[in-house]
Amino acid sequence: MLLLSLPRPAPLAFWEHTARFAGEETVSPTVYVLLLALACCGGALHGLAMAIRKKYGEGIEKYWLEWKWWVGTIADGCAGFMIWPAMPYVSVQIFAPLVIIFQLGTSYVLGLVMFKEKCVLMHNCGLACAVIGVIGVSLSTTHEAAHFTISQFWAGWVNPRFVMTNLVVFAVLAGARVGLHISSFYALLAAALEGFQYICSRSIVDSIFEHSLAFIMKPAVFGAFIIKGCCILGIVHTQQLGLESDLSRFAGIYLVGCTLFMCIQGSAFFGDPMPMSIGFFASAFCTLAGIWMLNQKAAEEPKDISDKEITITDSQDAPKEGNPQDSVA
């Protein structure tokens, strides 16, 4: 069994064992379910780690000096390793939405329970709309990934389709910086960086199954690790800036954005076919509508102005009582 080989002392025993399955068309149902379960647990751990980083880093300028904040950061890294094994076997159209939904649900519940955030009907509708849209996107796209080798890594960055896709992504980010709340901009910026990190992660995993232990000797793999590391630093920093907002609201925009950017950027880089169907565009619109609803501020409760009116009335009456002309009259 795949996961039963994890306790072996050799650090790369897991990758050596899975490499034997790389060329096969199918894996056993038990292995497939365990990989999905491991990825789902990783998604939930991502949500918990985000809550820890918000709790111990919010409002602190040098948040990286707080050791409790590092607990959340390390847990976030462990969650990333938990979802890696599913990449070669589960297509991104199923893999990304599944992990995102678990992370989104965990973050939303923790925001309400841990941080006592207000339960808003529009945010709930936005969350449901975003989840439905993400599921629709996964069901309306092909489940077969395009063949890719690590030798194509550098050429992929200058592919005209990938360059044009990134121009659109940058235009969206520029519009978000001008038209949305700053925390929403940071959420979308972190999501775009997640798209680049996914490209590097998939390239690394593909190289492992292609070259086994010799993957580390490939210059493109070294470059992918560097780009991935820079993306992780950018994601951690932009997430922390965006976490000044409500956790449930930030997580909703960030995670739904992650799914969109991962699918769009990954498709342009690896050459996965992008469907041109009504169902796909309807699902994408539903997802964007959910992001918009999650971005709306909750209506403020009307303040009790009775005391204020009394104060104003008293202040208006006071001069009349103390006016010498009134006493004479």
Question: What 8-state DSSP symbol labels residue 116?
Answer: -
Where do we find the tokens 């050459």?
Answer: 271
Top pLDDT among 74 and 29 is at: 74
Q: Per-residue pLDDT tens for 219-240? A: 999 999 999 999 999 998 898 8
Supply the pTM of this predicted model.
Answer: 0.65
Structural contact between residues 126 and 99, judged by C-beta atoms closer than 8 angstroms: no
pLDDT score recorded for residue 296:
65
pLDDT score recorded for residue 1:
33
Q: Per-residue pLDDT tens for 275-327? A: 778 887 888 788 777 767 766 665 544 444 444 444 444 444 444 444 444 44
What CA–CA distance (Å, rounded) separates 262 from 27? 25
Q: Output 66-72 pairs: Cβ under 8 A, ≥24 positions apart.
A: 72/48
How many other C-beta atoms can be found within 10 angstroms of the C-beta atom of residue 47?
24
Structural contact between residues 83 and 97, judged by C-beta atoms closer than 8 angstroms: no
Question: In the chain, how long is the greatest CA-to-CA distance?
Answer: 106
Top pLDDT among 174 and 143 is at: 174
What CA–CA distance (Å, rounded) separates 261 from 273? 15
Query: 3-state DSSP call for residue 297?
Result: coil
What CA–CA distance (Å, rounded) separates 193 from 195? 5
What type of residue is 179? G
For residue 71, pLDDT beyond 50? yes
The separation between the first and the last C-alpha atoms of the chain, rounded to the nearest angstrom, is 102
Top pLDDT among 141 and 256 is at: 256
Structural contact between residues 137 and 92, judged by C-beta atoms closer than 8 angstroms: no
pLDDT score recorded for residue 289:
79
What CA–CA distance (Å, rounded) separates 329 from 327? 5
pLDDT score recorded for residue 16:
41
Encoded tokens for 2: 């795949």
Extended strands (E) in the chain: none
Q: For the chain, which residues make up each domain, given as ranges?
A: 25-299
